[in-house]
A and B are shown apart, each in its own frame.
Chain A
Amino acid sequence: LSGSPALRLPDRNSASPRRSPSPSQPPMARRSAPLLRRLVSSAPPLPGHGGGARRTVTYMPRPGDGTPRPVTLIPGDGIGPLVTGAVEQVMEAMHAPVYFESYDVHGDMPAVPPAVIESIRRNKVCLKGGLATPVGGGVSSLNMQLRKELDLFASLVNCANVPGLPTRHQNVDIVVIRENTEGEYSGLEHEVVPGVVESLKVITKFCSERIAKYAFEYAYLNYRKKVTAVHKANIMKLADGLFLESCREIAAKYPSIEYNEIIVDNCCMQLVSRPEQFDVMVTPNLYGNLVANTAAGLVGGTGVMPGGNVGQDHAIFEQGASAGNVGNDNLVEQQKANPVALLLSSAMMLRHLQFPSFADRLETAVKRVIADGKYRTKDLGGTSTTQEVTDAVIANLD
């Protein structure tokens, strides 16, 4: 029952600009972060047993760390506003030291408004509901635009069984780290002659290297034992071959972390038959999308899987997988979208912002609600509305 791990790159400029890094030692928070994570994972909060989320070692903040942090909020389309509304309510109930700057963005806009990008650059952290991308022609994906402009090169989703939610497989705890900016989603398409269309998949050493580095660093910092690279290099020898080459080079620098490679079709098959064998997976863009969505199905669907996108300077947190849409009209009308995924993503965000006990409290409350089973939305087999689940989470906060 460890909390979902922090996304953050260990970077000196992580928090507010007031902090000046001391020249001889890394900042206090960074030194204690790995220790804290290990302790958190060994101090299990027991949902519904009055155990609560008490840490055995206190997190020692720097003076001023409690100043409320601004976070850009993009409710978006479809179920987006519903689930971001849930997060806002829970944050307020917890008196978490964050406040949201909300912006109106919709998937059919030609581009993300510059004010929004400006806000994310300023705040460094954003929470997003969901942006619908119209199918087949016309506007390009705003989600992709955000990722490219802010260079959020790593997408991370955590597929883990939620206690109390019955699924076919147990003991699933997979983190999929997916390259977010190039590959099949480069957006370079053209019609050669009428009736023949080409799309370019671009793989570069630079991007492959940095995603491999991030994956191994993540595994190291979160005490994960194995990294698996997903590829199709038997067919795409040069492109995926370059990706694998980069992974192997980085793997050599982390001898204590086991590294292996798996072809993407075999990977999907293994995922549905024996998902316990996977730990951290690193993939190029398209395969990561498929693997993440498949893994989402394994642990209960897109409604329960948290995730985020991170780059050198910024991070955007959102549902781990959206299954390519923002929910259907029914869900929106009846207000029955599942807020769990975004709540868990906001817990990841709180950890990223270095508010670990708020993150723990939020996660514990969410897990209690699911384990209790009384308030579950339709995708988990229940009949509750978003608001009912949100209220239950608030009621379960320590």
Chain B
Amino acid sequence: MGFSSSLPQLVWDTKGLVVVVLVLVSHGTVLFLQVVRGVVESLKIITRQASLRVAEYAFHYAKANGRERVSAIHKANIMRKTDGLFLKCCREVAEKYPEITYEEVIIDNCCMTLVKNPGTFDVLVMPNLYGDIISDLCAGLIGGLGLTPSCNIGEGGICLAEAVHGSAPDISGKNLANPTALMLSAVMMLRHLQFNDQADRIHNAILQTIAEGKYRTADLGGKSSTSDYTKAVCDHI
């Protein structure tokens, strides 16, 4: 089981350009035990090492991308030791970056604020399960899974760029899918490889195509096929 972080970058909401970046840490909630019939236990494991790594990445990312705030999302009032350890590690790393504002937000509050007032958040860092849920929640806020890219980062600069969405078997082979999510993931990959110019060009082409509104796939309320939309993006480059 490899450790990785996932980094969706949200592009646009109805009010303008809002970019929210999430960083997850992959620990496990993996070990299943059936203790007696009808009683199942599931272990959530938080380690200092993994928490430190992802906190480091979050702050490093924030600094490198001109972000001002990192919020750690937790439920340490209930899960005092596990999420408490996660928070402790975040605090340690936060001290090394005094120019970045650090705050801790309970996950209930985070969910509600994301729905009411998402502009208050900048970079969010959290353990695995919460991140899974929050990243999909944010995807819903900006227009859905057709638009949300992500990157999984490992040590040594390994990067696995993928869309947040799944394989969508119901529309497979019909030339209907929205390729934006994967395109934007590729843009993130290019930035990771430091091909920033090319990344910007593609990014702008995508934004322009969607903003114009003439070529949009079904999930965005339009009627274009995947190939038509892709051609439109290529034309805009």
Given known contacts A189-B82, A297-B111, A297-B115, A324 and B77 CB-to-CB distance under 8 angstroms? yes
- Give every chain A residue within 8 A of B88 (Cβ-Cβ): 136
A190: CB under 8 A from chain B? yes
B140 adjacent to A236 (CB under 8 Å): no
Given known contacts A269-B144, A272-B137, A272-B141, A199 and B43 CB-to-CB distance under 8 angstroms? yes
Given known contacts A198-B45, A238-B40, A290-B133, A297 and B116 CB-to-CB distance under 8 angstroms? yes
A272 adjacent to B32 (CB under 8 Å): no
A269 adjacent to B136 (CB under 8 Å): yes
Most buried by A among B38, B75, B115: B115
A197 adjacent to B144 (CB under 8 Å): no
Most buried by A among B48, B83, B87, B106: B106
B115 adjacent to A198 (CB under 8 Å): no
Which of A28-36, A82-90, A201-209 is near enough to bind chain B? Answer: A201-209
Q: In the complex, how many angstroms separate the beta carbon of B108 from the nearest chain A beta carbon?
A: 4
A294 adjacent to B137 (CB under 8 Å): yes
Query: Whole-angstrom distance between the alpha carbons of A57 and B115 in the complex?
Result: 40
Q: Which of the four size classes fits the interface of chain A?
A: 35 or more
- Give every chain A residue within 8 A of B43 (Cβ-Cβ): 198-201
Query: Whole-angstrom distance between the alpha carbons of A141 and B132 in the complex?
Result: 26
A298: CB under 8 A from chain B? yes
Given known contacts A205-B39, A297-B112, A301-B112, A273 and B44 CB-to-CB distance under 8 angstroms? no
A325 adjacent to B106 (CB under 8 Å): yes
- Give every chain A residue within 8 A of B42 (Cβ-Cβ): 200-203, 236, 238-239
- Give every chain B residue within 8 A of A273 (Cβ-Cβ): 140, 144
- Give every chain A residue within 8 A of B84 (Cβ-Cβ): 135-137, 197
Within 8 A of A (CB), among B73-95: 75-85, 87-88
Query: Whole-angstrom distance between the alpha carbons of A298 and B145 in the complex?
Result: 20
Residue of A nearest to B115 (CB): A297
Contact of A268 among B33, B113, B116, B133 (CB under 8 A): B133
Given known contacts A136-B83, A238-B40, A239-B41, A264 and B111 CB-to-CB distance under 8 angstroms? no
Within 8 A of B (CB), among A115-164: 133-138, 140-141, 144
B32 adjacent to A324 (CB under 8 Å): no
Query: Whole-angstrom distance between the alpha carbons of A40 and B34 in the complex?
Result: 46
Q: In the complex, how many angstroms separate the beta carbon of A148 from the nearest chain B beta carbon?
A: 12
Most buried by A among B32, B46, B133, B145: B133
Contact of A325 among B33, B76, B109 (CB under 8 A): B109
Query: Whole-angstrom distance between the alpha carbons of A237 and B31 in the complex?
Result: 10
Q: Which of the four size classes fits the interface of chain B?
A: 35 or more
Given known contacts A201-B44, A205-B38, A238-B32, A141 and B77 CB-to-CB distance under 8 angstroms? yes
Contact of B115 among A242, A272, A324 (CB under 8 A): A272
Q: How would residues 38 to 74 of chain B score, 1 for a CB under 8 Å from any chain A CB and 0 otherwise? A: 1111111111110000000000000000000000000
A190 adjacent to B81 (CB under 8 Å): yes
Contact of A189 among B29, B80, B111, B144 (CB under 8 A): B80
Within 8 A of A (CB), among B112-139: 112-116, 129, 132-137, 139
- Give every chain A residue within 8 A of B29 (Cβ-Cβ): 201, 235-236
Query: Whole-angstrom distance between the alpha carbons of A159 and B114 in the complex?
Result: 16
Query: Whole-angstrom distance between the alpha carbons of A301 and B84 in the complex?
Result: 27
A239 adjacent to B40 (CB under 8 Å): yes
B140 adjacent to A298 (CB under 8 Å): no
Query: Whole-angstrom distance between the alpha carbons of A135 and B134 in the complex?
Result: 21
Q: In the complex, how many angstroms separate the beta carbon of A278 from the nearest chain B beta carbon?
A: 13
Residue of B nearest to A299 (CB): B115
Query: Whole-angstrom distance between the alpha carbons of A297 and B107 in the complex?
Result: 13
- Give every chain B residue within 8 A of A294 (Cβ-Cβ): 111-112, 114-115, 137
A377: CB under 8 A from chain B? no
A191: CB under 8 A from chain B? yes
B116 adjacent to A301 (CB under 8 Å): yes
A324 adjacent to B140 (CB under 8 Å): no
Q: In the complex, how many angstroms separate the beta carbon of A267 from the nearest chain B beta carbon?
A: 8
Given known contacts A190-B81, A204-B39, A199 and B44 CB-to-CB distance under 8 angstroms? yes
List 14 additional contacts besides A201-B42, A272-B141; criterion CB under 8 Å. A134-B77, A135-B76, A135-B87, A135-B104, A136-B77, A136-B83, A199-B46, A202-B39, A202-B42, A268-B137, A269-B139, A272-B140, A289-B108, A293-B111
6 A-B contacts (beta carbon < 8 Å): A133-B78, A136-B80, A189-B81, A265-B133, A293-B111, A325-B109
Give chain A's interface residues, CB within 8 Å of chain B: 133-138, 140-141, 144, 184-185, 187, 189-191, 194-206, 232, 235-239, 241-242, 264-266, 268-273, 286-287, 289-290, 292-294, 296-298, 301-302, 321-325
Give chain B's interface residues, CB within 8 Å of chain A: 29, 32-34, 37-49, 75-85, 87-88, 104, 106-109, 111-116, 129, 132-137, 139-141, 144-145
